[in-house]
Each structure stands twice: as C-alpha cells, then as structure tokens.
Homo-oligomer: A and B are copies of this chain.
Amino acid sequence: MQDRLDEVKAQVQAALQEAMAGLPPGELADAMRYACIGGKRIRAFLVMESARLFGIADEAALPVATAVEALHAYSLVHDDLPAMDNDDLRRGLPTCHVQWSEATAILAGDALQSLAFGLLTDARIGPAETRLALIDAFAGAVGARGMVWGQAQDIAAETAIEPLDLAAIKRMQQAKTGALIRFAASVGALMAGEDAGPLTEYARHLGLAFQIQDDILDLTGDEAEIGKRLNKDGTANKATFVSLLGLDGARDKARKLVRNAESALDPYGEAAENLRRLARFVIERDA
C-alpha cells in the first residue's frame, strides 16, 4: 500500500503543478501552489483505489483525485484563517495567511475551489454524463449541505455554552471531513455507474476513525512530526472524541470503526486490500 500511496502522491503533485502551470505569475499563484505542498494525499488514494476496483485507468481517475486534493487544500487554507481556527502551522510550514496575507489566503482558497471544479470537466475522466454526475456529487459534498456546513458547526461549537455531545460531534465530523472522504471513496462506483453503497459505508467508518485518530494525536502526538499545532482542542475546552470517550475508549472506538470499514469492502474481495490497509494505516499513523 505504501508504494501505491507514494505513486499516487507523485501523480497528484505533478497533476496539480500542471493544472496551475500558466497561471498569471504573482502572489496569488504562488500562494495557491504553496497551499498544495505536502499532505498525506489520503483522499487522492481513495479516488485512485476506488476507481481501480472498477477497472478504471489511473489516467481517467487522476483529474478527479487532483480536484479532490485542490478542494481539500482550499478548505485547509480557509480553516486556518484567523477568523476561523487561527492556526499558524500546517503540514510543517507557516499557514498560508502567515506566509502571505489574510487577503491572499482567502483569494488563494477561493481560486483553488474554482480550479477543483474546472478539473472535473477534463475529458480524460470519461463520458460527459459521468463528469456531470461527479460535479453534482462534488458540489453537494463540499457545500452548504456537506463540508462547509460541518465547518460552520465546528466554529459555532467553540462559542456555544454547552459543548457538543457525541452524536453532535459525529454529525459535524461526518460533514466537515466525512463528506469529501465519502465522495472520494465513491468515485470509482460513480464513474462505473455502479452501486456506491459499500464504498460509502466504508468511507463513513473510515472518516470517523480518521478523525478519532486526529483527536488522539492532538493529545499524544509530536508537533514537529505532525506539522501543525497540537492540544489546541484541550486549550479551547472543546469537546472531542477523546474528551468524551477517554483515550482508551477513543482507541477502542477507532479500532471498531476500522473493522467495520474493512467488512464493508467484503463485496470486492481481495481487490479492495489496499483500501483495507489504508483503514488500518489511518489509526496506526503517528502523523
């Protein structure tokens, strides 16, 4: 799996560079490229591996994986803004608004979202109807019913009198990080015109497990290795999976979710082994 993840990383990095080649030179383009440096590329991996399950060539899936990572990069840039999570470190580098300015960070995020949608029109992806189905699902996943709604809930929770309970945190995370992860994992089925049910089920468990591991690492991880500020949630007195379940309870829950994620892939047999490995990797990672 690690080899395939490295391969996807290299493919996506090259595709992002290509998509941004020929932008008018200046701070905006520089900030957009800066925002796309690094990252685990888990979402791109989900796109490429779910496509492979249905016999779809890397060449066809790559523009979609690239769009997903461009969109993810925009969401991180905006989430890090002073008016949002106010973070100064991301992927081991100063955040975009620290490196450039708030205005440039807002605009770079905005332009990365436009870029992401533009990438989904790429003819290499396949028939026009397929591309439109992807764009429609993508718009739903990242907008006011999905990712942005989740981020709004997360921000609102910081100033709320009562911390979120477990059900509310799950709902928030299933939107904030889950919606894009579910989209990424279901791309193969969407492109093949097949039932996305098992992949969506897999991604639902995977997304939560990923978030729980993030909460665990926020408490136990190494800042230099992870490349962002840690223990911010504790300082903000914010409810997390760890604050609600305890460290051991959170670890148990994450392991259970990973087993559920693996089982959801039963219909695909051995072909889904990389996706199962990813699920285990998600809770074993220390960065």
The interface residues of chain A, by DSSP majority, are classed as helix
In the complex, A37 Cα to B110 Cα: how many Å? 22
Tell me the A85-133 residues at the B interface (CB within 8 Å): 101-104, 106-107, 109-111, 113-115, 117-118, 120-121, 127-129, 131-132
Interface 1/0 per residue, A59-97 and B, CB below 8 Å: 000000000000000100010010110000000000000
Interface 1/0 per residue, A129-158 and B, CB below 8 Å: 101100110011011110011011101100
Whether, in the assembled complex, A28 has its beta carbon less than 8 Å from a beta carbon of chain B, the answer is yes
Beyond A148-B111, A152-B27, whether A132 also contacts B136 by CB under 8 A is no
Point out the residue from B81, B83, B118, B156 that lies within 8 Å of A135, measured CB to CB. Answer: B118
Query: Across the interface, do B140 and A118 meet the contact criterion of CB distance under 8 Å?
Result: yes
Point out the residue from B24, B120, B142, B149 that lies within 8 Å of A149, measured CB to CB. Answer: B24
Query: Across the interface, do B136 and A118 meet the contact criterion of CB distance under 8 Å?
Result: yes
Whether, in the assembled complex, A29 has its beta carbon less than 8 Å from a beta carbon of chain B, the answer is yes
Chain B residues, CB < 8 A from A132: 121, 128, 131-132
Beyond A117-B135, A132-B132, A135-B121, whether A145 also contacts B24 by CB under 8 A is yes
Tally of contact residues, A, Cβ under 8 A? 49
Whether, in the assembled complex, A23 has its beta carbon less than 8 Å from a beta carbon of chain B, the answer is yes
- Of A101, A110, A151, most buried by chain B (CB within 10 Å of CB) is A110
Query: Across the interface, do B29 and A144 meet the contact criterion of CB distance under 8 Å?
Result: yes
Q: Which residues of A contact B (CB under 8 A)?
A: 20, 23-24, 26-29, 32, 74, 78, 81, 83-84, 101-104, 106-107, 109-111, 113-115, 117-118, 120-121, 127-129, 131-132, 135-136, 139-140, 142-145, 148-149, 151-153, 155-156
